[in-house]
Structure formats: C-alpha cells, structure tokens
Amino acid sequence: MIVRIPSNSYSREIEEGKVDMRAQRNTVPNVKKSYWVNVCEAIPLVCKSFKLKMIDHLLLGGEHASKISPGFSSPIRDEGEITPDEKKEIVKASPSFGMFSLFKYHLKHGYMNQELKKNNKIYCSHIFSLIMALPILVFIGQWLLYSALIADEVKSFNGTICGNTDTLENKLMISGISIIYFVRSFFLWDNITNSISLKKMNKVNSFTSILDTFQEFAFTLVVYGANIWVVFVEEDIQNMILNSLAMEFLMVLDNEFEELYFQYVPGSAEYIYDNIFVSYEENKILLEDRQQEDRCFRCFSYIIFVPYKLLVLALFLFPFFCFFMIFAGPTCK
C-alpha cells in the first residue's frame, strides 16, 4: 500500500484554509441597520463636518487630509495622470482662484502671451484682461449692481415688518422662494465641501487667494439672503420675479467670465494647474512660511479669522433661516 505524504505546499494550503475558516468563524455577520439608526449616525457626521470647517483656517481643505470617520475611505494621496480638461475643471472649481487671482496671473505670467503664440490666435479677452483689468471690473460690477438693487429696495421699503396685509399670491410667492432656497442651501454647504477637497488648489499664501475664497462663498450667501428679503418686502409680484432673476444673474457673472476665458484660452488653465496650484500639504507649508516671514500678511490672516468663521457659521445656519421663512414669510407679509 502506498501512503501519500502531504507536501509542504499542500500543508501550507491546509494551514491557510484553517486560517480562513477561523477568520470566517470569528467574523460577525453584517446586520442591516434600520432607517432611524442610519439617520442617527449621519446627523453627528454633519456636526463633525461643521466643526472641521470651523477649525480649518482659510478653508485649506484639512478635513479631507485624513479619514473623516470609521467606515469611510482613506484619502487618496496619489492623484495619477489627469487630462487637460480635468485640469481646467479643477481650476474653475477652485474657490481660491477667482477674479483677483486671475488678474494676478496676467500680471505675473499672462502678459508674455505664450498661449496666444502657441495657438497662433489673438484673443482680446486675454490681452485686455491685463490692460483694462477685466476680472477686477467684473468684481466691481457685481457689487455695484448688487448695491443698486438693495438701495432701491431700501428706498421703497415702507418700514412694516409684520403687517400681514399682503395678498394671497404674494404670500405664496415668499413661501415658494423660501422652499427653493431651503433646498438649494444644502448645496451651498456641499459646494464648500467639494471645493476644498480638490486634488490641488491655488496657493493661499497670498492676499488675492484669500479674497477670492471669501468672495466665492460670501457673495452667493448675501445674494440668497437679499433675494428672500426683496421678495418679502416687495408688493408687486412681477417686481419680485424680475429682482430675483437679476440677483441670480449677478451671482454667476464671475464664474461665467472664467468659463468663457478658459474656453478660448484653455492652455492658461493647464499652465495654472501645473505651475501655480499646489497640494494641501504644500499649501499648508507655504501658508506657515508666509505667516512667519511677512508680518503684514500675518496680521491680515488674523484679521479675517473672525469673518471666515462667521461665514462658515452663516452658511451652516442658512437652511434653518430658509425653513423659518417658509412659515414666517407668508404669516408676516
């Protein structure tokens, strides 16, 4: 009779099988959680997101540098190769690269017209962005139009806060607008989360990037708030609609300018991403070095500390305000 002696490899397979079986025995089966359990676990995550943003000075994106909570995926450090179109989208989505940073790009790099020479084309938007400071003019135009609309409403306001004398149609209008903005307010918060989680961002060790970040989120918030107030105090329903559309138009002027500029000169976006944008770790080091070396910049960053925190707080509380106006608006209008 021939006795078969197990080989070493066969023994290892048995041992590995034993380990697998032991692991299977020790594994706790996944228990399906109820609806309310998942909801109760999600609410604290929202509060944690708010806390992380309050801690994250200048909205560098520190909350995405580590795992947010057990069960979440770890941050991906290696970004790999990305396409020129992806680079353009990242530049456009970065909150720290707005009108001021775009004008700064023209002052330091764009004046050489390398992209125009490369494509053998002459674009007036590129040339006059430097000569006539077109990005700065867009910024000024936004605030001038916004101020004019608000000043006109203040002038026509009769001073009654809660008269409850308006028509049913106007009451329905303020309630409907508040409902729409209540829904959209959550996307305002998500916009911050998404914007500060980009693979690379503009350097925040400059005055322009700080102003651009504040402008990106603050202007949208004040426009939404002003829109609710305009609809609340306005008595003519057509004026409500026209003023709301005007406010929405103001809000996208700067993003529309960037969209059109990079549509004609896409190479500029690729250059900005490759040579100006940096990762979160690099950004953090650059910011610390600038604060240590430049006393003026250090004072400026300390001064805007409170406005930044108030901005994050206002964005977090804005859904509660919209929800309140759904019922208080038609009651008091």
- Nearest Cα neighbor of 192 from 226, 210, 218, 211 is 218
Q: Provide the 10 A C-beta neighbour count for residue 329.
A: 24
What's the pLDDT at 4?
47
pLDDT digits 0-9 by tens, 155-186:
888 777 888 888 899 999 999 999 999 999 99
**Looking at the DSSP assignment, which residues form a beta bridge with residue 201?**
278
| pLDDT interval class at 80 (50, 70, 90) | low
pLDDT in the model for residue 184: 93
Residues 201/302, Cβ–Cβ less than 8 Å: no
Provide φ and ψ at 2, rounded to 5°.
Answer: -100, 125
How many other CB atoms are there within 10 angstroms of residue 45's CB atom? Answer: 12
Cβ neighbors of 305 (< 8 A, separation 6 or more) are 57
pLDDT of residue 176: 93
Tokens found for residue 114: 């390398």
Q: Which of 199, 247, 210 is nearest to 225 (CA)?
A: 247
Looking at residue 14, its pLDDT comes to 43
Task: Look at residue 23 in the predicted model and tell me its pLDDT.
Answer: 44
Residue 148: is its pLDDT beyond 60?
A: yes
Residue 52 pLDDT class (50, 70, 90 cuts): confident
Cβ within 8 Å of residue 178, ≥6 positions away: 228, 322, 323, 325, 326, 329
d(CA 310, CA 306): 6
pLDDT, tens digit (0-9, with 9 covering 90-100), for 93-112: 888 999 999 999 999 999 99
Question: Rounded distance, CA 118 to CA 105, Å?
Answer: 18
Closest by CA to 87, choosing from 269, 316, 289, 325, is 269
Neighbours of 279 (CB within 10 A): 16
Residue 151 has pLDDT above 50, yes or no: yes
- pLDDT tens for 129-138 read 999 999 999 9
pLDDT at 72 over 90: no
Q: State residue 56's pLDDT score.
A: 81
| 190-233 pLDDT, tens digit each | 988 888 777 888 998 889 999 999 999 999 999 999 999 989 98
CA distance 324 to 331: 11
- Which has more pLDDT, 24 or 143? 143
Indicate the Cα dihedral angle 156, 162, 168, 173, nearest 10°.
60
The residue-averaged pLDDT of 84-88 equals 92
124-131 and 134-156 helices, crossing angle to 10°: 70
